[in-house]
Each structure stands twice: as C-alpha cells, then as structure tokens.
Amino acid sequence: MTRAFCYLTFGFLLLTTSSRWPACADEQIAPSDVEAIESGRDALNGRTYFPFYDAKKDEVRRIDVQEKKTAADADNDSKWASTTGTTAPVRGGGGRSSSFASFFQVAGLTVLTLLIVAVAILLTKTFLQGEQTQTQGAKFVDTSSDVDRVEDLPFQLKRPTGDFLSEARRLYEAGQYSEAIIYLFSYELVALDKRHFIRLAKGKTNRQYLREARSREGLKQILQGTMISFEDVFFGHHELSRAGFEESWFQLDNFHHQLEQVELAAA
C-alpha cells in the first residue's frame, strides 16, 4: 500500500507538471517516469473520486473553497440582515430634528391639557360660588312674610309684588338704583328683625335700629352704609348712581354670611 501511494503521489506530480509545462519534443522521458505517470493516472481514474482531478481532460481541476460558517456566525448574519432591512440609515441631523419635533409635540399637549384643567377648575369654582350665593340668599329670603312687615317699616313703601330682595334686584337690573336701595334697606331691616337683632315697630327711627344692632358690629356697619344711601334718596330726594347702589349691593353676601355665623354660634 505504501508503494502504491508513492506511485500515486509521484504520478500525480508528474501528471500535473507535464500538463502545466509540456515537455519539448526533443525531451526524453525515462521508462520509469512513464510507468509512474500511468500508474498515477490509473489510480486517479479508479473508483475513488478525487475532486481535484478532471479525468476527461486529464488535468487538475480548480476547487473553490468556501469558509465554513458556525452557528454563531449565521445568527449574527441574520441579525445584521434584519437590522439593515428595517432601519434606515440616519443622515445629517434627521434624528435630532425628529427628537425636537417629538419634544415639542409632547410639550404642546401638556400645555393644552393644563389649560383645559385650569379652565375647568375656574368654571367649577365660579359655578359653586354662584350656587352658594343663591343658596344663602334663598335661605334668608322669606317671601311669605317680608311683604307682611311693610306696615312695620319706619317709612311709607309701596307693597311689592314679590319679596323685598327680589324687587331690589329687579330694579337694579332695570337701572332704577334710587328705587332699588329703598327695597334693599327694607330687606335688611326685616332680616335683622327675624333674628331678633332689632325690633321693627311704628314710630322708630333708623338711628334707633342702628343702636339696637350695635351688638353685631359687622351687621351694623353694613346696615349703616345702606341706610345712608337710603336717606339720601328717600328724604333728600337725590338720585343714586349705580356705583353708590353697588356699594351696598355687593355687601349682601357678607350680610348673609354674618347672619349665618350668628345662627351657627347660637345653635
């Protein structure tokens, strides 16, 4: 076997050499070399397949060798292909511009949300304040008895169709401020009489009512301001401006609040 292998190797070398560099016509090949070449050719043409030998052309065949990839290499190639296939290359400042655009979008939505919440809170607060004012006003207005006390007032007054406070509001909205202050003052006197801070009676003066209300200084100050405007109109026959009326009208919530505090303290 060793001898056959040697013949095969030597014959392959001579075969490849003779095929690449053909001998000149005048060169002589030794009989032993010819025998080795034939033995090598016979061995290459046997049952065993040699990928480097082309039997038809009796010459060496070129073999293209490819690098064998491992499983890790295949996995890396797959990841690279998926990445390059779905992600576009970033050029210039495109990524930065996209980031700024996203930031401004988020900031804009945040500001818009805060504005909506602020408006909702403001509207809710305004609504609740209005409800509270109406509730307080309704609590202290007694339409069934206000008009009945008109005879006890220290001045002559036309009986209104409703209660004193509703009539004052109607005249105020109509721009008749001089008439409105008369009904506002009447309402305050009746409200104080109901809580026993004063006692309405024929023949009493406004100064007497102020002295009776002196135990409640806050209520007394409100009543005194309304009384001065009332006397300028009723006794002095002066026209009352809107600003003059609103000085007393805007004290109405404070008037109701102080009455409520007194009732809570007495309860």
Given the structure tokens 């005048």, which residue do they identify?
26
The model carries a pTM of 0.47
DSSP readout, 164-201? HHHHHHHHHHTT-HHHHHHHHHHHHHHHHHHTTSS---
Cβ–Cβ under 8 Å, residues 192 and 198: yes
**Strand pairing partners for 54?**
59
Q: pLDDT tens, position by position, for the chain (267 residues)?
A: 555 555 555 555 555 555 444 444 445 556 666 677 777 777 766 667 666 667 677 776 776 666 665 666 666 666 655 555 554 444 555 566 677 678 778 888 888 888 898 888 877 766 555 554 444 444 444 444 566 667 668 777 777 777 889 999 999 999 999 999 999 999 999 999 988 899 988 888 999 999 999 888 999 999 999 999 999 999 999 999 999 999 999 999 999 999 888 778 766
Radius of gyration over alpha carbons of the chain, in Å? 58
Cβ–Cβ under 8 Å, residues 140 and 252: no
- Of 205, 202, 250, the C-alpha closest to 226 is 250
DSSP readout, 127-151? HHHHHHHHHHHHHH--TTTTGGGGG
Q: Would you state the pLDDT for residue 53?
A: 66
- The CB-based long-range contact list for 253-260 (8 Å cut-off, 24+ gap) reads 253/133, 253/136, 254/218, 254/222, 255/188, 255/191, 255/219, 255/222, 256/136, 256/137, 256/139, 256/140, 257/136, 258/216, 258/218, 258/219, 258/222, 259/140, 259/191, 259/195, 259/219, 260/136, 260/139
Helix ranges (DSSP H) in 51-93: 71-86
Q: Would you state the pLDDT for residue 6?
A: 52
Q: Would you state the pLDDT for residue 137?
A: 46
**What is the CA 64 to chain-centroid distance, rounded?**
65
